[in-house]
Structure 1
Amino acid sequence: MHMIPASLKKMADVTALAFLLVAFLTGIASALQTPTLSLFLTTEVQTRPLMVGLFYTGSAVIGIVISQLIASYSDRSGDRKTLIIQCCLIGAAGCVLYAFNRNYFILLTIGVVLSTFGSTATPQLFALAREHADKTGREAVMFTSVLRTQISLAWVIGPPLAFALALGYGFKTMYIAAATTFVLCAAVVWYALPSMQKTTVSEAASVESPRQNRLDTLLLFIACSLMWTCNGMYIINMPLYLIQELQLSKNLVGIMMGAAAGLEIPVMLIAGYYAKRFGKQPLMALAIISGLVFYIGLMVFTQVWLLLALQLLNAIFIGILASIGMLYFQDLMPRQAGSATTLFTNTIRVGWIIGGSMAGAVAEIWQYHAVFYIAALMCLVAVLCMLKIKPA
């Protein structure tokens, strides 16, 4: 027991448990919708593959604009707790629309806008958690890392549950379940999470090296976007690479993804524990180098046990990016927790926009494994960006 960090002991109270529960519920709400979206659009809305791709791209672009506007508003005024409740309820309304509407353009416009509000609840939750940790004297890095593991846990449980509901009971039932999750989440936020009053930014804090901070933030944004692009290309092309090029079992795809998701949880906790000792910049560099070796390994190895072993590197790559990357943005943007967290979330959207288009184009011109060469080159650019960020 003496080896348990003091920060973990501090977290064992009602408020911290409420944060963990809300993070898990928002993760479940997202994991119920995202994995089945392409199947929903193809079978229920009956759209062509091109229109499915357009839906993903349009969703990401609309999501970036709306979420950043919400984030800027949240940092300037208003109670973040109230905003999270509103986002959850609007997200629930979006789920109800998806449950009963089958018009493509209504879903692409109204549906995507409502869904974006729902997905924005997560970065706002992490922003509130950071403010709460700073105010109460908690170890913010470890607190956020444990919080982030709840999202990973939700994504271990959510996708199988989503397919079970959609295929067994229909998409209407699945989306109603997601809406119910959002409403439950809003209730927990209302009753258990703290309200954080906005503080006035001091003149000294507001003028502290703004140009350098903006440059560092831009470099971090580019690095994280490239990392998420690599991950997006991998998720899109890896199943086709294993099944069509290597002629391996379809079950291996699920095993590899499950192994990576499971390994990410301890990676996040370990990274959170050692972030204060080694710093966020070296950990992010370690993540990118792990990603580089991972993608090179995919080009070299074809044996099943080696492909499974490589998932440890993939878990280090994504686990550190998902937990430490968010905190790094918050450090570079003090007193702007909402904008910083949403900016990090938008690197995921940018990664999917670029990764989605590149994965198809590269596979069309060359072969499925060719994306791993592109991913390795992107990792090299990302690590250069990371090294150019001014050390704290």
Structure 2
Amino acid sequence: MHADSTAPRPRASSFTSAAFLLVAFLTGIAGALQTPTLSLFLSEEVHARPAMVGFFFTGSAVIGILVSQFLAGHSDRRGDRKSLIVVCCLLGVLACLLFAWNRNYFVLLFAGVFLSSFGSTANPQMFALAREHAEQTGREAVMFSSILRAQVSLAWVVGPPLAYALALGFGFTAMYLNAAAAFVVCALVVRLFLPSMRKAPLAAGAVAEAPRRNRRDALLLFIACTMMWGTNSLYIINMPLYIIHELHLPEKLAGVMMGTAAGLEIPTMLIAGYYARRFGKRFLLRVALASGLLFYTGMLTARHTALLLALQVLNAVYIGILAGIGMLYFQDLMPGQAGAATTLYTNTTRVGWIIAGSLAGVVAEIWNYHTVFWIALVMIAVTAWCLWAIREVQGAVSASR
């Protein structure tokens, strides 16, 4: 009788894992339908100047950081992540509806971005919940997180080409309505199938803190990841307009390039997750850095479609390792604070957007879109200094084994 009562558990655990994979894909699709075309949307539909396009990304990142940090602290102390993810998805729906039918720059910047910030927070909260679920069920956390990150990349294989096809073929309204539908389905899956892990309120001093040495390395890691995501943000903001206005190549090529890189990121993430225990996370991030250096050097010289697509191999290694390993490194350095660590990592993306948004539009308006890639190489140099200053922390290494 005891055996009968325990038999369904592995099946239930597998079903829950499948639900996590679906949620990772849906949150990825929701973002992949909106982000790649945002600069084009602001330029053509809202008629914003290049500097205003860059400022929009900066404002979006600032609001996103404030919202996500508030939610991260709340969820780590006493929040039920499952309910929080559902609420974030529903607010993401409202944001998509606003972008679908409103074309006022300032309404979109303040009301639209505020709602979008909740929607985008669903993703890091899902990863924090997945980490807690993996630890509770004894699943290997590094590989499980890598597989979830691969699902997000899979969404980015489908999302950018689909976003451009919808926007150019049916209009931006249709594109944003599809993103809203992804959020609706995601909210339903979370509500019905993800585990609920309520936690008792903790005393103010009860939250685990990283050792002082880990905090120093976490700061260096924050700067390094911020610079790496900043270069990627420069690329996302700048590349579609660079392709169209300076290289005079087809508009759809931008979506194909993003989708190609995302597809190649999937095996990169899985391979990085597998080799993390052998080589360590710091070494893998240095490999990513080398790929990024070669990629942005190539973007400065490439002029033809075939070469631009071939460069996406380097882009995939660069972003695939960063996306798969960076978050786990933060979690290792901040034990007991899965939500705060995951959100801190996610906020490196947002700070990267702030830097990129501030630079991309201004540089493009004063000089040209090509010059933006030189800025990316300067940020790569800052990243190199930080990654070589990080010491191999024993707690982080053992956690990956």
Q: Distance in 2 between matches of 1:167 and 1:298?
A: 25
Query: 2:252 and 2:15 mapped to 1: Cα distance?
Result: 40
Following TM superposition, by how much is the alpha carbon of 1:151 offset from its aligned partner in structure 2, in angstroms?
1.2
Q: CA RMSD in A?
A: 2.9
Q: Does the 8 Å CA contact 1:126/1:341 hold for their aligned counterparts?
A: yes
Q: Tell me how far apart the structure 2 counterparts of residues 98 and 298 of structure 1 sit (CA, whole Å).
A: 31
Q: Is the 8 Å Cα contact of residues 99 and 173 (structure 1) preserved in structure 2?
A: yes
Aligned counterparts of 2:172 and 2:303: Cα–Cα separation in 1: 37
Deviation at 1:348, TM superposition (A): 1.2
Render the CA deviation track for 1:268-324: whole Å, top value 9, x for unaligned. 111011111211111111111221122234445656655443322211111001111
Tell me the residue number matched to 2:180.
179
Cα deviation code 1:77-117 (max 9, x no counterpart): 11111111111112112223333444433322222211111
CA apart distance, 1:17: 0.5
For the 8 Å contact 2:54–2:361, the answer to whether it is kept is no
Give distance in 2, aligned partners of 1:80 and 1:73: 9
In the alignment, structure 1 segments of 5+ residues that lack a partner are: 1-8
Partners of 1:15 and 1:194 within 8 A in 2: yes
Q: 1:96–1:175: 8 Å Cα contact kept in structure 2?
A: yes
Q: Structure 2 CA distance, aligned partners of 1:241 and 1:110?
A: 29
- 2:142 corresponds to 1:147: no
In the TM superposition, what is the alpha-carbon distance from 1:262 to its structure 2 partner? 1.7
Q: 1:42 to 1:382 in 2, by over 3 A?
A: closer
Aligned to 1:19: 20
Using the TM superposition, give the Cα deviation of residue 231 of structure 1 relative to its aligned residue in structure 2, in angstroms. Answer: 1.7
Q: Percent identity among equivalent residues? A: 65
Q: Compared with structure 1, are the counterparts of its residues 250 and 338 closer, same or farther at alpha carbon in structure 2 (3 Å cutoff)?
A: same
Q: Which moved more, 1:306-315 or 1:37-46?
A: 37-46
Range with greater deviation from structure 2 (38-47 or 222-231): 38-47
1:63 corresponds to which residue? 64
Tell me the CA shift for residue 143 of structure 1: 0.6
Q: 2:208 aligns with which of 206, 216, 220?
A: 206
After superposition, the Cα gap between the structure-2 partners of 1:67 and 1:118, relative to the gap in structure 1 and judged at 3 Å, is same
In the other structure, the counterpart of 1:355 is 356
User: CA separation in 2, counterparts of 1:41 and 1:254?
Assistant: 17
SS in 2 for 1:206: coil
Question: Amino acid of the residue matched to residue 235 of structure 1?
Answer: I
Q: Which residue number corresponds to residue 5 of structure 1?
A: none
Mapped to 2, the partners of 1:54 and 1:377 lie a distance apart of 21
1:125 and 2:135 matched? no
Is the alpha carbon distance of 1:25 and 1:342 closer, same or farther for their aligned partners in structure 2, counting shifts above 3 Å? same
Give the 3-state SS of the residue equivalent to 1:13 in structure 2. Answer: helix
In the alignment of these two chains, the number of paired residues is: 383
Displacement of 1:248 in angstroms is 6.0
SS in structure 2 of the partner of residue 218 of structure 1? helix
Counterpart Cα distance in 1 of 2:346 and 2:300: 29
Tell me the CA shift for residue 331 of structure 1: 1.0
Relative to structure 1, the CA distance from residue 262 to residue 10 in structure 2 (aligned partners, 3 Å threshold; closer, same or farther) is: farther
Match of 2:397 in 1: none
Residues 1:250 and 1:66: Cα distance change in structure 2 (over 3 Å): closer
Q: Give distance in 1, aligned partners of 2:365 and 2:225.
A: 26
Q: Deviations over 1:52-92 (max 9, x none)?
A: 33322211111111111111111111111111111111211
In structure 1, C-alpha distance between the alignment counterparts of 2:241 and 2:331, rounded to whole Å = 37
Q: Does 1:387 align with 2:388?
A: yes
- Structure 1 residue 92 and structure 2 residue 88: aligned? no
SS for the counterpart of 2:391 is: coil
Q: Which residue of 1 aligns with 2:74?
A: 73
Tell me, yes or no, if the aligned pair for 2:81 and 2:197 is still in contact at 8 Å: yes
C-alpha deviation, 1:239, in angstroms: 4.8
TM-fit CA distance, 1:12: 8.1
Q: Give 1:205 shift.
A: 8.1
* CA drift at 1:159: 2.6
1:320 aligns with 2:325: no
- The aligned counterpart of 1:159 is 160
In 1, distance between residues paired with 2:30 and 2:355?
25
TM-score (norm 2): 0.85
Greater shift in the superposed pair: 51-60 or 336-345: 51-60
Name the counterpart of 2:398.
none
Q: Which moved more, 1:20-29 or 1:105-114?
A: 105-114
TM-score by length of 1: 0.87
Distance 1:110 1:202, change over 3 A: closer
- Aligned partners of 2:47 and 2:291: how far apart in 1? 40
Change (3 A) 1:51 1:141: same
User: After the TM superposition, which of the residue ranges 197-206 and 179-188 deviates more from structure 2?
Assistant: 197-206
Structure 2: how far apart are the matches of 1:219 and 1:260?
27
The aligned amino acid for 1:354 is I
CA distance in 1, matches of 2:165, 2:302: 33
| Distance in 2 of aligned mates of 1:344 and 1:117 | 16
The 1:261/1:132 distance shift into structure 2, 3 A limit, reads same
Q: Is the 8 A contact 1:57 1:353 kept in 2?
A: yes
Where does 1:290-301 land on structure 2 (aligned, <5 Å)? Answer: 290-299=291-300
Report what 2:266 is aligned to.
265
How far 1:265 sits from its partner (Å)?
Answer: 1.0
Match of 1:32 in 2: 33
1:252–1:185 CA distance, 2 compared to 1 (3 A): closer
Matched residues in 2 for 1:386 and 1:173: separation?
43
